[in-house]
Each structure stands twice: as C-alpha cells, then as structure tokens.
Chain A
Amino acid sequence: MPNQLRIVAIDDDADDMLFLKRAARRIGDFDIELIPFRVPDEGIQYATTHTVDALIVDYGLGGTDGGEVVSKLVAAGVDFPIIVLTGTDSTELAVNLIHRGATDFLAKSRLSEESLRRSLINAIDKCALQRQVSKHRLEIEAKNDELRARNDEISRFYHHISHELKTPLTSAREFVAIVLDGLAGPLTDEQREYLEISKGSCDELVRHLNDLLDVTRLETGKLNLRVADHDLRAIVELAVKTMQPSAAKSELGLTVSVPADACLTSVDESRVRQVLTNIIGNAIKFTDAGGTIEVRLEHEDSGWGVSISDTGRGIPEEHHAHIFDRLYQVADEDGFIGGMGIGLNLCREITRLHGGEISITSEVDEGSCFTVSLPRRERSSETTHAA
C-alpha cells in the first residue's frame, strides 16, 4: 500500500498507548497503521513475521525491559527502525540502547507529538538508507561472485584450449622427428635443415602452451609441487646442460659454478629446473653473440641462491619493479615486444610456492642478473604438496 506505514507499538501502559495512537495517526504524507501490543513477546512475534516499517517499545515494561526486546529483534535480524521510549533521560541508558541496536530513543518527559513524529521520520529514513546500502552491498557481492565465476570459466577455457592445441602439436612434432631420425628414408642436408627448423618451432609452441597451462593452474590453485629432497647442484647443472646447445647455437658462453658441498633442500625438481631454464633461455635470447652467461649456485643466509647473469642488453630500471608481474611486457627501442609476459611471472610464482623469492639487478647495455633464492627445507620422505 503506498503512503502507508505500519508501526508496531509495545507498551503495557494504556495512557502511553493512547498517546501513541493519537500522535502517530498521520505523519507528513503517510497514513499510520499502529498495531498495539501489551505483551512484548506477542509484539516481537508479530514484528518478525510481518512487514513492519518501524517499532516503538517502552523501556519500562513489567517483567521484561525494552532493551531485551531490542536485543531479541536485532537477533532475529529485523531491518526496521526501533525507537525506545524511556522513563528517564539517562545518557548511559541511551548509549546502551543504541549499542544493542535501537535506532533512536525518546525520554517520556520530553515526549510530544512533534518529537515522536520527527523521531519516526528520521528513523524510517535512516533505515531506508541502510536497506539501500545493504541492497547495494548484496548486489556488489553478487556481481563479484559472478565475475569470479567468469574468471574461473575463462581459466578453464584457456586450460582446455591449451590441451586441445597440444595434442595435435605433439603428433606433428613426433612425425617430424620420425622423418628426421631417418625412419622414413634418407634425407638430404637441405631437407634435414628445414625439418630441424620445423621441429624447433614445434618445441617452442609446446613450451608456450605449457606456460599457458601453468598459468591457468596457478589461477585455479592447481599448480601442485611434488617436493622431495634434492641436491640443488644436480638441478642447476642439469638445467645448464639442457640449455647448452641453445647457447652454443647463439654463440654464447654458458658457464656454471656450484659449491663443493651438497646443497640439500626440499623442492620440486622439475619445477625448479623449469624456472632456471626459463631464465637462462631469456638470457640467451637477449644477449648478443660473443657474450657470456654465468650460472652460479651459492650459499645464502637461510638457503641457496642461484644467480644467472648475462652480458646482454639489460633492462631499464623502471621495469624492474614490474618485470615479474603477469602480462607485463618490456618493449625494446623499436617497440618490439617479445614473449607473452607470463614466463617470468611463472618463475616468480613457482619460486614463491617453494617459499623462495626471485630478484633482478640490471643495467642497460651492461647485462642482467636474476637471482632465485630458495630456503633450506628438508623432508625425510617424498610428499606431494598442494599449492
């Protein structure tokens, strides 16, 4: 019903009730429907099961007090304003009532039709505003849930599509390899050269797709580490060995140095190797022929640091703070952007999953040095550690 307010009044005093009925017959443009209750629980029962615009309760009720009524209503989750009529003009009591959830209080000594109306209007306005705010909050939360679901959906889509692309790519690469291995007859040098290029491109694509798959795994919290105790020296040396052919092809020196003693810690061997080969791969990509790349495993305060330094073109300082952020890309002076902006982000996230950190120092035209710090952690047996 438009322009009608339903107000519940709980008061065991007949005179008070008469006053309320008279005072609250009509307020501004609103017709008031006052529903009186002498017994507090009946009033609470009604107010919590009907649409009510406001409730007025006398503080000095026989047996129970108005404060308890307020508490019960608040506990029931009502969203209409509650006004308490008090016999005394005590600030302490007023504060107590507001704390319990009352919207306003009126001392009976100063009660007039005018003050009651004003209080009701204020209280109803205030509640309408609160309702609106909480409605907006619910809408924002719903929108947020929706966006999160959408984001998950996109992640799943990328995951799916990467998988779908990888399957045919794997067989394409495999049959090129079969021909290259001479299993389909002898090859001329020229044929071999072209097929090597083709196979190299397949490998590159597989690496990109694997990175994409890892990004979606990270997003959905499904990048799991399979940690076991390892000697970091072996991992570092294998990573360098894997990248040696690529460095040689680019006419770069790639050296490795490790401590004489075992560097035992608990890591996911293949993931750490992935981080190192990724960074070494970048160093190879951004260092001109004749340069050198040094990989060094060293003791640090609380673990080990693997530093990969190159004599490449370097990275301007303004990029250092963001270089490990997802989708961050550094364009060269010609505006050319290499890569998808996920490789270094993956390196950082994988390092962090290990409880480590990754850092960069670099100077333009001097070279870059990336350091992967891993804490000393040992486990007696192999475990699968969920990210």
Chain B
Amino acid sequence: MSKILVVDDDSKIALSIAVRLKKAGHEVVVAYDGVTAIKKAIEESPDLVLLDISMPAGNGLIVAERLRGNVDTATTPIVFLTASKRHDLRERAEAWDPVAYLEKPFDADDLMILVQRALGAQFA
C-alpha cells in the first residue's frame, strides 16, 4: 500500500480520483489548493503526488517548485494532471522532473496504470 497525495482545486475531481485509488488499496491524502498541498506533502511524505497544474492561487507549477526545493520531497515522484490544451504549461512543468503527464479528462484505466508505473519506478 502506498500513500498518494492528490492535488486538484476541483474537489469533486479530487474525490473521484481518491475513490479509485482507495479502492485499489492506496492511502490517499487530498489537497484542494497549492498551499495545503505543500503543507501535506511535507507532513505526510507521500510516495506519489498527483498534481493539477492549473489551479488558482498557487498553481501546480509553484507547488512542484516548492516540493523539489524541500529535502523531504525533492525526489517524490510527481504526475502532473493537465488540461490537454495548455501545451505552454506542460512545457514549463518539464523543469520539475515529473514522472508523467495525464491529460484531462483522462480515462480511469490510464490513471491506474500510470499510478502503478510511477510507484513501481520509485521502488525499482
């Protein structure tokens, strides 16, 4: 069982992801804004962060920058969730060494496969 931090300002989307991850046997921590996300990432030391890039007030890129700058979370795998049309954000996100990008709206199967791969890569 792994601990996964899900960050999305759309609380319903965050909840839907959390439901799937929990049912797959993971422990899930949810944050709906950037500041809380950074706080929980440091407190909870998750094995993986699913991070929405486009969030108001502390967008995903800032969160990623802070996580990389902190000793405890510097190497935590990050999967970015992106609105498919924002290629510009995606290019900027590359700097924070993400494991993968998942374009919204995404297929639930793709999410679960990606999560397994991201966790596997970490423990390999």
Contacting pair B13 A170 (CB below 8 A): yes
- For the complex, what is the distance from the CA of A226 to the CA of B13, rounded to whole Å? 27
Interchain CA distance A265-B88 in the complex, whole Å: 24
Is B92 interfacial (CB-CB < 8 Å)? Answer: no
Tell me whether B12 and A183 are in contact (CB under 8 A).
Answer: no
Q: How far is the CA of A224 from the CA of B16 in the complex (A)?
A: 30
Instruction: Contact check, A177 vs B108: say whether CB atoms are below 8 A apart.
Output: yes
Bin the interface of chain B by size: 10 to 19
Most buried by B among A173, A174, A226: A174
Closest to A270 in B: B84
Q: What residues on B are CB-neighbors of A384 within 8 Å? A: 87
CB pair A183–B23 under 8 Å, yes or no, is yes
Q: CA–CA, A111 to B23, complex, Å?
A: 104
Query: Interface residues of A, CB < 8 Å — how many?
Result: 16
Q: Are A226 and B87 in contact (CB under 8 A)?
A: yes
Task: Report chain A residues within 8 Å CB of B84.
Answer: 270
Interface flags for A266-288 (1: CB within 8 Å of B; 0: not) read 00001000000000000000000
Q: Does B120 contact A (CB under 8 A)?
A: no
List which B81-101 residues lie within 8 A (CB) of chain A. 84, 87
CB neighbours of B12 from chain A (8 A) = 168, 171, 174-175
From A171, A183, A224, A270, contact of B13 by CB (8 A): A171
Q: Considering the chains assembled together, what is the distance between the CA atoms of A168 and B23 in angstroms? A: 23
Query: Taking A171-B12, A174-B13, A206-B105 as contacts, is the C-beta distance between A224 and B20 under 8 angstroms?
Result: no
**Residues of chain A in range 365-387 having any CB-CB distance to chain B below 8 Å:** 384
Q: Which residues of B contact A181 (CB under 8 A)?
A: 20, 108
Give the distance to chain B from A94, nearest Cβ to Cβ, in Å: 62
Shortest CB-to-CB span from A131 to chain B, Å, is: 49
Expressed in whole angstroms, the minimum distance between the Cβ of A33 and any Cβ of chain B is: 64
Beta-carbon nearest neighbor of B11 in chain A: A171
Complex CA gap A88/B84 in Å reads 77
Q: Is there a chain B Cβ closer than 8 Å to A167's Cβ?
A: yes
Give every chain A residue within 8 A of B13 (Cβ-Cβ). Answer: 170-171, 174
Alpha-carbon gap, A174 to B12, bound state (A): 9
Which residues of B have CB within 8 Å of A168? Answer: 12
Flag if A183 contacts B10 (CB, 8 Å): no
Report which of B19, B20, B23, B104 forms a contact with A170, defined as CB distance below 8 A: B104
Q: Are A171 and B16 in contact (CB under 8 A)?
A: yes
What distance in Å separates the Cβ of B105 from its nearest Cβ neighbour in chain A? 5
- Is there contact, CB below 8 Å, between A224 and B87? yes
Q: Which residues of A contact B16 (CB under 8 A)?
A: 171, 174-175, 178
Which of A167, A224, A226 is close to B10, meaning CB atoms less than 8 Å apart? Answer: A167
Q: Which of B19, B87, B104, B105 contacts A178 (CB 8 A)?
A: B19
- What CA separation (Å) do A252 and B84 show in the bound complex? 32
Shortest Cβ distance from residue A385 to the other chain B in the assembled complex, whole angstroms? 11
Residues from chain A with a CB closer than 8 A to the CB of B19 are 178, 183
Looking across the interface, which residue of chain B has its beta carbon closest to that of A226? B87
Residues of A near B20 (CB, < 8 A) are 178, 181, 183
Query: B104 — which chain A residues lie within 8 A by C-beta?
Result: 170
Q: How far apart sit A26 and B108, CA to CA, in the bound complex (Å)? A: 90
Cβ–Cβ < 8 Å partners of A226 in chain B: 87
List B contacts of A177 (CB < 8 A): 108
Kindly identify, within residues 200 to 247 of chain A, every residue whose CB is under 8 Å from any CB belonging to chain B. 206, 224, 226
Alpha-carbon distance A204/B104, docked complex (angstroms): 16
- For the complex formed, measure the closest distance between the CB of B14 and the CB atoms of chain A, giving whole angstroms: 10
Cβ-closest chain B residue relative to A181: B108
Q: How far is the CA of A384 from the CA of B89 in the complex (A)?
A: 13
Q: Which residue of A lies closest to B13 (CB)?
A: A171
Q: Which of B1-50 contact A (CB under 8 A)?
A: 10, 12-13, 15-16, 19-20, 23
| A148-181 with Cβ < 8 A to chain B | 167-168, 170-171, 173-175, 177-178, 181
Give the nearest-CB partner of A163 in chain B: B83
5 smallest CB-CB distances across A and B, nearest first, come from: A171-B12, A174-B16, A183-B23, A170-B105, A178-B19
B interface with A by C-beta (< 8 Å): 10, 12-13, 15-16, 19-20, 23, 84, 87, 104-105, 108
Known: A178-B20, A181-B108, A226-B87. 9 other contacts (CB 8 A): A171-B13, A171-B16, A174-B13, A174-B108, A178-B16, A178-B19, A178-B108, A183-B20, A270-B84
19 A-B contact pairs sorted by A residue (CB < 8 Å): A167-B10, A168-B12, A170-B13, A170-B104, A171-B10, A171-B12, A171-B15, A171-B16, A173-B105, A174-B12, A174-B108, A175-B12, A177-B108, A178-B16, A178-B19, A178-B108, A183-B20, A183-B23, A206-B105
